[in-house]
Structure formats: C-alpha cells, structure tokens
Amino acid sequence: MKAKNILLSLSLSTLLFSCEKDTPFITEPAEGEGQILKSALNVDLRDGELGQSSLRSTRADVPYDDFKVTFIKDGSSSPASSYRYGDMPDVVTLEKGAYSVVATYGENLDAEWNNPYYSGQSDVFNIRAGEITDDIGEIVCRLENIKVSIAFAPILTQQMSESSYVEVKVAPDVDDKSVKGLQFTKFEEENGISGYFRYVKGVSLVATFNGMVEGLRVSATKAIKEVEKGNHYKITFKLHTQEGENQGDANAEIGLDTSVTVTNVERNVDIEDDEILDDSERPREEDPEKPDDPNPPVPGGAPEIVGVAPIDIDAVNEIDGSVPVGMKVTSSADGGFSEFMVLIDSPDLTPDELESAGLSAELNLAETPDQFATPLTNFGFPVNVKGQKEANIEISTMLLGMLQAVGQGHTHNFKLIVTDANGTTEKTLQLHIK
C-alpha cells in the first residue's frame, strides 16, 4: 500500500512574528529604499516523507529557523542580503527594484548522512520606495539531492557478519576511485539512517554488498542509471534461495538478490524502476575482461574540451593571475550541447565566497539562471549555450585575481561536464595560483 501523500506547508510568518499591513517602519528607510516584512515569506516544504525523515519526527519540530533566506536583486551579481531565518529582523530594508527570494535548508554535499538539501525560489516581486511589502507569494521548497536507504531481509540479517556493509556511490562515473561513498551497515538500517547524495543530471547509483554470509565471502552489486533528485531509492538485499539446492555442499556459493523501491518524496508515490540494471549488465571485479563502459562511444564523438595555449587541460597549470585562462568546447552532434555544467572545487572558494561573487559551486552554462548570467559573463564564462556547437571559456583576470587573493599557493579545480547527442565528456581544469 502506498503511503498517503503529506504536504507540509508552513507560513514562516507564524513562527515568531505577525504584523498587519499598516505596520509602521521600524527604521526610517533612506530615499530610494523600501521595506519587506519577515511575515511576507511563506514556505511550502514539499516532502511527503518528512514525518519519518532525519529532520524531526513531527511537523512542529522542523527547524525552519535554520533555513537560509537570500534576497537577490534582479540583474545584480551578488545577493542584496542574506539571513538565517531565525536571526532575520522583522523588517528588512532594501533598495527599490525587482527581487526574488531563495530559501534553502542544508548543504548540497557529495555524500552525507541525514543531510537533506531543500531549495526554492519565489517569483519576482517589487520593492517600492517608501512602501512596505507584506506578501510575495509562496516559495515552494523541494528536495534537491538524492535520498538512499538500505534494507536487509531478516534471514540475511541473521546470517551476515557484523562487519558486512553496502557501499553506495552516486556520480557520473561511479567507477572513479575518488568518488566519495557511504557504507551502510546493520546499524544504519536498524536506526533508519539515510544517505543523501549530490544530484547532477545523468548521475548513476551503484550499491555494492561486501561481507561474510554464513562464513563465505559475498559480493553483490545493484546499479541504477540516471537517478533523479527528489527521489528516495530504497534498496533491499536478501539471500538468494533455490529449491533443491544442496545446503551441505562445502563448495556451494551464496548469492544475494536485490530489489529497489523508488519513491518521489514530494508526491510520496512509487515510480517505475525501468532503469535498474541486473548484476549481469554491470562489470564485475571477478570479470576483468568485461568492458567497463556501459555507454560505448557513438559515431561522431562526444564533445571535445581542449585548452587554449598555454593551458593544458590534462595537467596542473601554474598561473600568476595576469593572463586569462582559455578553453574551447565543441560539439559535432545535431542539436549541439544539451548539458553544460561547471563544478568548482576549491579549498578557498567556500559557499560564502562564491555567493558574494554571484556564483555557486554548480554552474549551469546550458540554461543559465538569470541571477548568475551577469557575474558568469564578467568572469569569462559563456551562458545559455544549449543548442550551440561551440563555446569558448576565457576565465578572466578578475576571477584569477580573486583566486590569488583568497588562495595563493593552492590548486583550484573547475570540472566541465558537457553532453550532446553523441555522449558526455568530462575534463577538469586545474589551476595552481602562484
């Protein structure tokens, strides 16, 4: 039986503060400024599983105070103001103009326990000089990462060793040894602990059981192609049984079966799992002769990413910040680029640093959100390149200067993930700032 759909809607205005439309200014705004009430923010949190999630067990205990609220002025390269909701003043003063509000909870991490990441953005509204804004409409926040839980069938739980675990990885290339995974043991299953993984379009999920069952070493893998954000993937492992099996055979092998339930947390309904692969469709460690690539190249070739001299895309580049950094990306497929992502991995470009510059750690150059278009252009990135067959990236001296200021002597990585009808190409530009 499918669980009932539960929509948790909360008007943030009812938590700490309520005021009427004629509430006076708390501080007199300067000329050209207007104000917005804290009570104007209304969040609809779409998670039908929230009552069972790691946030809290009841609606009243959901930590809405920990939501981050960011006001973004239309056309600006940096946020106008940002608050933890619990610390936000009852009235916020802003320059007149068009704005939107982004509400987020949690961090969008590669892999972490009990770490749901919710995000939503309001429609554009206007702040008018000398006026108070008391309603901006609804901000719908949805789960933006991927939820995974593991279950062991009762008989398997009895027979498996305490050290047995299932390692889960979610990434564009799950065979990459550098990809962070989470290891689910009996403890995580018994305590209902879920893992949350960063979503990038086209990512796959692989869950691998490793351990001892009835004294024998067992390994089994379940792979799921192109998992989606906002979904909960519950993977169940159970002992494989077969009638007539000789249980006394000392050379017998123990196998595991797997099943997957995919639930959309917003609607709390199961989704067809057509994309789930059997073990036989995935390379196994004991079969090194089987090809590793489940997506063989398509004639015509995937997109090409090359460095423009003196940049070598396959090496660490020593940069002093005075010369722009160039790359050329081309597509030979009909329809040009369909996806074009840049992921920034830098020890110094923290979320706050990126936010202050009008950027984020994940940049969509194919269909670029309006609030990122201007700063991306200023920093030398192309925007809205979906359908194009060529894009030139020239990381400007402005961005390199910022890297020098915050991270001189460090290496900063810019990972490009580019997709067209012929496939996906990933390259990482590595810049070591002198």
For residues 77 and 16, is the Cβ–Cβ distance under 8 A? no
**350 or 81: which leads in pLDDT:** 81
Report the candidate in 380, 406, 385 with the shortest Cα–Cα distance to residue 395: 380
More confidently predicted of 164 and 288: 164
Tokens standing for residue 402: 């910022």
**Who wins on pLDDT, 198 or 274?**
198
Strands 111-113 and 195-197: antiparallel
pLDDT at 286 over 50: no
209 or 349: which leads in pLDDT: 209
SS3 56: coil
Tokens representing residue 2 in the block: 């499918």
Residues facing 216 on adjacent strands: 213
- pLDDT at position 206 over 80: yes
pLDDT in tens, 376-409: 887 888 889 999 999 888 877 777 777 777 766 7
Q: What is the pTM of this model?
A: 0.55
Q: What is the pLDDT of residue 269?
A: 56
Please state, in angstroms and rounded to a whole number, the distance separating the CA atoms of residues 74 and 264: 32
Write down the residue that tokens 């001892």 correspond to: 212
Calpha distance 172→293 (Å, rounded): 12
The residue behind tokens 């939503």 is: 120
360-382 pLDDT, tens per residue? 888 899 998 888 888 888 788 88
Weakest-pLDDT range from 5-19, 86-100, 247-261, 278-292: 5-19
The string of pLDDT tens digits covering residues 293-326 is 444 444 458 899 988 877 888 888 887 766 677 8
Q: Do residues 180 and 212 lie in contact, with contact meaning Cβ atoms separated by under 8 Å?
A: no
Q: Tell me the β-bridge partners of 237.
A: 152, 258
As a whole number of angstroms, the distance between CA 395 and CA 77 comes to 16
- pLDDT, mean of residues 57-73: 72
Percent of the chain whose predicted confidence (pLDDT) is above 90: 36
> How far apart, in Å, are the Cα atoms of 197 and each of 32, 126, 217, 319, 359?
44, 36, 28, 33, 21
Share of the chain above pLDDT 70, in %: 78
**Tokens 């070598």 sit on residue:** 312
Q: Identify the pLDDT of residue 62.
A: 58
Q: What is the pLDDT of residue 58?
A: 33
Query: Are residues 398 and 324 in contact, defined by beta-carbon separation less than 8 angstroms?
Result: no
What 8-state DSSP symbol labels residue 424?
Answer: E
Q: State the DSSP H helix or E strand holding residue 151, giving kind and residue range, or none if neither.
A: strand 146-152
- DSSP-derived letter for residue 160 is B
347 pLDDT tier (thresholds 50, 70, 90) = confident
Q: How large is the average pLDDT for residues 228-247? A: 74
The residue written with tokens 């564009």 in the block is: 172
Query: How many other CB atoms are found less than 10 A from the CB of residue 244?
Result: 4
What does each C-alpha distance from 208 to 107, 215, 251 come to in angstroms? 26, 18, 23
The answer to whether the beta carbons of residues 91 and 25 sit under 8 Å apart is yes
Write down the residue that tokens 């982004």 correspond to: 102
Question: What is the average pLDDT score of the chain?
Answer: 79
pLDDT band at 292 (very low <50, low <70, confident <90, very high): very low
